[in-house]
Structure 1
């Protein structure tokens, strides 16, 4: 079931339900593009029709990566089951890849970050087939990046390029692959490598992860201003 929030259709599944769905699609070699969307992405789509079109026509699944999306769904009386973050999905899918000996390809972050992330996967997930990785500093028009991935035919591709760049990259890549689970995961390689610390579990449980990130990265303040704008748009919808 889809839950519409400002014209972005979110899939209403728990994290475990998503993983079960994704596992079946990977096993059946169905191409799958997943977008993990927060209020910032929803508002960006509202102002950028081409990105909105990508979400509507190219994304196979959209998860609620942001407590603001969950609160909005409740305000609109169409509640989503739970927040499902890109980072949590990444960890669950790494565990799946370890169990099933699947192949993965990583794209994104700085070179020193992706190097650490790749080594951590080799150390902690020895049965995962890491068939390639590279940093995120390239032009989207540089076809050698896509060609390298296509040649390896990975079961899963994780792109940590930040939105909307990662979604445009994966959309273009999806067309050229015969199979593959594709997901944009923002700054997840930084967290996975230990370069950036995730909020303590108690703050995550209180839905204060956004506040922790703001304290650690004050430069995010301008980006955070989109949240009250998002809530205002939801209130307008509710009144309408």
Structure 2
């Protein structure tokens, strides 16, 4: 089963290695590629925001299950999803590919000090990457103007960390204009990559408890975490209706 639907969103049902192979093929062919890494929060927002849902289902070329909740939903529906594929893992791997191939990269999002830290780390650890642009997420221009600014730099990869659905709205404009680049919303990945936020230890990752680790470190995330039980209840309700 190459696609699995969870609450209206069509997930590509591949392993991390299969996603990597597909992306290498698209990079080789210089295909415009818009990636959405969807977690339960994104799915629940798309339930309310039909424009956002349309962007994901109609504009995205690849939709990965970023969150163990999505994988569990697949099991509940008896439509198993191969594995969780996180935006952070794809982001770091794509930087590795960009470094090997000496590609052009554009970064947008996060706080000024975070994006500067990301830029510094790329300069020191991924020296073959041509960083054609980097800017924080506190711009006031409309998204069309920002998209034009990015496209003018002719990047091979674009990573946006300006929060959903805004990052997907921005990248969908670039995709509509057929920018020949890999484009992905990466949420809080810049914070982790820069070292500002610590990623959960491997033991938490393997136990699929990264969300719990983040809650322990950032208790203020509690309200956001309430979406998880709501997501499970919605999946169960939806299953009964089918």
TM-score range, shorter chain: over 0.9
1:107 is the counterpart of 2:105: no
Partner residue, 1:190: 191
> What residue number does 2:48 align with?
47
Alpha-carbon displacement from aligned partner over 1:107-160 (angstroms, at most 9, x marks no partner): 000111000101101111111111110001123516553233111111100001
**Change in CA separation of 1:76 and 1:142 when aligned onto 2, cut-off 3 Å:** closer
- What is the 5 A alignment of 1:108-187? 108-139=109-140, 141=142, 143-187=144-188
Residues 1-240 of structure 1 aligned to structure 2 (within 5 Å) = 1-139=2-140, 141=142, 143-240=144-241
Change (3 A) 1:168 1:178: closer
Distance, in Å, in 2 between the alignment partners of 1:178 and 1:39 is: 28
Q: Offset at 1:174?
A: 2.2
Q: CA distance change for structure 1 residues 154 and 141 in 2, over 3 Å: closer, same or farther? A: same
Stretches of structure 2 lacking an aligned partner (at least 5 in a row): none
CA shift in 2, pair 1:19/1:122, >3 Å = same
Compared CA separation, residues 59 and 142, structure 1 to 2 (3 A): closer
User: What is the CA–CA distance in structure 1 between the aligned matches of 2:9 and 2:169, rounded to whole Å?
Assistant: 16
Contact 2:144 2:173 in 1 (8 A): no
CA RMSD of aligned residues (A): 1.2
Distance 2:211 2:169 in 1: 25
The 4+ residue runs of structure 1 with deviation greater than 2 A are 142-148, 173-178, 237-240
Once residues 194 and 216 of structure 2 are traced to their aligned partners in structure 1, the CA distance between those partners, rounded to angstroms, is: 20
Question: Deviation at 1:234?
Answer: 1.3
Moved more, 140-149 or 196-205: 140-149
* Counterpart contact for 2:143–2:170, Cα < 8 Å: no
Q: Distance in 1 between the 2:8 and 2:178 partners?
A: 28
Structure 1 residues 90 and 205: alpha-carbon distance in aligned structure 2, compared to 1, 3 A threshold: same
Aligned-pair distance for 1:238? Answer: 2.8
Query: TM-score when scaled to structure 1?
Result: 0.96
CA distance in 2, matches of 1:61, 1:139: 29
